[in-house]
Amino acid sequence: MSAEVLIGQGEQRCSVLTKYANRHGLVAGATGTGKTVTLQILAEGFSDLGVPVFLADIKGDVAGLSQAGDASNAKLAERAAKTGMNGFQTQAYPVVFWDVFGEQGHPVRATVSDLGPLLLARMLELNDTQEGVLSVLFRYADDNQLLLLDLKDLRSLLQLASDSPDAIGSTYGSISKASVGVIQRALLNLEQQGADAFFGEPALTLSDFMRTTFDGRGHINVLAANKLFMQPRLYSTFLLWLLSELFEALPERGDAELPLLVFFFDEAHLLFKDAPKALLDKIEQVVRLIRSKGIGIYFITQNPLDLPDAVLGQLGNRVQHALRAFTPRDQKAVRAAAETFRANAGVDVAEAIVALGVGEALVSCLGEGGIPMPVERAKVRPPRSRMGTITPEERALSMQRSPFAGRYEQALDRESAYEILTKKAQDAEVSARADAEAAAQAKADTANAKAQAAAEKAANKRPVREPDSFWESAAKSAARAASSTIGRKVGNELLRGLLGSFTKSR
What does the DSSP 8-state code read for residue 221? E
Residue pLDDT tens, the chain, 506 long: 679 999 999 999 999 999 999 999 999 999 889 999 999 999 999 999 999 999 999 989 999 999 999 989 999 999 999 998 988 999 999 999 999 999 999 999 999 999 999 899 988 889 989 999 999 999 999 999 999 999 999 999 999 998 888 878 778 878 888 999 999 999 998 888 888 889 999 999 999 999 999 999 999 999 999 988 888 888 888 888 998 899 998 999 877 899 999 999 988 888 888 777 878 888 888 999 999 999 999 999 988 888 988 899 899 999 999 998 788 878 888 888 888 888 888 899 989 999 999 889 999 999 999 999 999 999 999 999 999 999 999 999 999 999 999 999 999 999 999 999 899 888 877 888 888 888 888 888 888 888 888 888 888 765 555 555 555 666 666 656 555 555 555 445 544 454 444 444 44
What does the DSSP 8-state code read for residue 244? H
**Who contacts 476 (Cβ-Cβ below 8 Å, separation ≥6)?**
468
Helix/strand/coil (H/E/C) assignment for every residue in 97-144 = EEECCCCCCEECCECHHHHHHHHHHHHHCCCHHHHHHHHHHHHHHHHC
Using DSSP, state whether 201 is helix, strand or coil: strand
- In 3D space, the residue among 326, 382, 368 whose CA is nearest the CA of residue 37 turns out to be 382
